[in-house]
């Protein structure tokens, strides 16, 4: 397996973050399509190729592009035409950056397949997935809002060769209270990318309510009324059982990226450096 990081988590301008990632010993970087000082959707082909050339000069692989566009993922029929069009454009950009993986949150897959939102999401993901497959790209659904078993059943319903999984063990452990080790085996044939992140769950929650609060605002109110739900932690300090988790990835033959994600904390660069050493000792 290879060690990467989300470049934007360093909180530096894009090109500077690439320099820093290489200096820290990362083998690859995940890049956000839209984040802070850059928006791939508004860049020219030449501008995007300059990013690729800079990565190449540093010996960095672009492990994936994060195609998160905020809101409710693909759960809104009214929003989906624009979201699908933008996602297809990011799929095209992936080729320019030399990566075959896009990751994204898709919204919360309903527990009941008869829920109208289930079909809305499945239809949208099928269209995007089929387009991705035609371009040699996989749209990797990030784990977290639902259990691995529910996500696996949903992917089977979508039935597109262009749909895979970005396995984030912390999201499973701290949000859906699912076992990341078991999830590796449940989702084995779909995993094309992973995040190296850790976290702790304080109390179970309704994930549909939680992600609606993220999209609409109101998370702080949920915490005020019911107490802290989860907390992202430095690698090795949360609920993810790393030795067992990494052993499971090896057991299924996964040899891709462990991409470090550190969204919070006062010194993410130090936490990422620590995470690199943590992983180096274990893979």
Domain that holds residue 49: 2-280
pTM (predicted TM-score) = 0.96
Residue 265, pLDDT score:
85
Burial class (CB in 10 A: 0-12, 13-18, 19+), 20: middle
Q: What pLDDT digit, counting tens, does each position of 129-158 carry? A: 999 999 999 999 999 999 999 999 999 999
| Continuous segment of H or E residues that includes residue 1 | none
How far CA 234 is from CA of 2, 86, 136, 263, 281, in Å, comes to 19, 33, 34, 10, 16
Question: What percent of the chain stands above pLDDT 70?
Answer: 100
Query: For the chain, how many residues are written?
Result: 283
127 in helix, strand or coil? helix
Helical H runs in the chain? 14-23, 45-58, 80-97, 116-134, 148-158, 169-174, 180-186, 207-216, 219-226, 242-251, 268-280
pLDDT at 218: 87
pLDDT tens per residue across span 165-216: 999 999 999 999 999 999 999 999 999 999 999 999 999 989 989 988 888 8
Average pLDDT, whole number, for the chain?
96
What was the pLDDT predicted at 138? 98
pLDDT value at position 82? 97
159 in Cβ contact with 131 (< 8 Å):
no
For residues 63 and 28, the answer to whether their CB atoms sit within 8 Å is: yes
Nearest Cα neighbor of 30 from 9, 58, 57 is 9
With 0-12 CB in 10 A as exposed, 13-18 as middle and 19+ as buried, what is 211?
A: buried
**Range 36-56 average pLDDT:** 96
Phi-psi map region of 216: left, alpha, beta (phi>0 left; psi -120 to 50 alpha): alpha
Q: For residue 46, what is the domain's CATH number?
A: 3.20.20.150
Measured distance CA(16)–CA(12) in Å, rounded:
6
pLDDT at 70 over 90: no
**100: DSSP letter:** -
Query: Does the structure show a pLDDT above 90 at 261?
Result: yes
Task: Say if residues 66 and 40 touch (Cβ distance below 8 Å).
Answer: no
Position 27 confidence tier, pLDDT thresholds 50, 70, 90: very high
For 233, the enclosing helix (H) or strand (E) is strand 230-233
What is the pLDDT confidence band of residue 44, given thresholds at 50, 70 and 90? very high
What tokens were used for 90? Answer: 């990011």
pLDDT in tens, 211-260: 888 888 888 999 999 999 999 999 999 999 999 999 999 999 999 999 99
Return the pLDDT at 157: 98
Q: What is the mean pLDDT of residues 269-276?
A: 97
Per-residue pLDDT, 214 = 87
Domain count for the chain, please give it.
1
Mean pLDDT of 73-95: 97
């Amino acid at each position: 397996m290879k060690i990467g990081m989300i470049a934007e988590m360093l909180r530096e301008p894009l090109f500077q973050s690439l320099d820093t990632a290489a200096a820290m010993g990362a083998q690859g970087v995940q890049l956000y399509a839209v984040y802070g000082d850059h928006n791939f959707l508004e860049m020219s082909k030449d501008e995007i190729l300059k990013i690729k050339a800079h990565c190449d000069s540093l010996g960095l692989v672009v492990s994936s592009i994060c195609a998160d566009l905020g809101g409710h993922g693909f759960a809104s029929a009214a929003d989906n035409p624009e979201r699908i069009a933008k996602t297809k454009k990011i799929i095209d950009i992936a080729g320019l950056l030399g990566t075959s993986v896009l990751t994204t949150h898709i919204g919360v897959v309903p527990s009941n397949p008869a829920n109208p939102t289930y079909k809305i999401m499945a239809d949208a993901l099928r269209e995007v997935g089929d387009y991705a497959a035609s371009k040699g790209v996989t749209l990797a659904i990030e784990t977290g809002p639902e259990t691995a078993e529910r996500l696996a059943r949903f992917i089977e319903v979508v039935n597109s060769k262009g749909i895979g999984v970005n396995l984030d063990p912390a999201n499973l452990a701290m949000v859906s209270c699912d076992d990341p080790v078991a999830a590796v085996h449940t989702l084995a044939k779909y995993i094309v990318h992973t995040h190296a992140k850790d976290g702790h769950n304080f109390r179970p929650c309704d994930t549909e309510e939680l992600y609606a609060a993220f999209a609409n605002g109101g998370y702080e109110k949920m915490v005020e009324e019911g107490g802290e739900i989860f907390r992202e932690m430095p690698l090795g300090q949360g609920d993810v059982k790393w030795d067992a988790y990494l052993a499971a990835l090896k057991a299924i033959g996964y040899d891709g990226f462990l991409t470090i994600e550190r969204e919070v904390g006062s010194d993410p660069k130090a936490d990422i450096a620590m995470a690199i050493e943590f992983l180096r000792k274990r893979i």
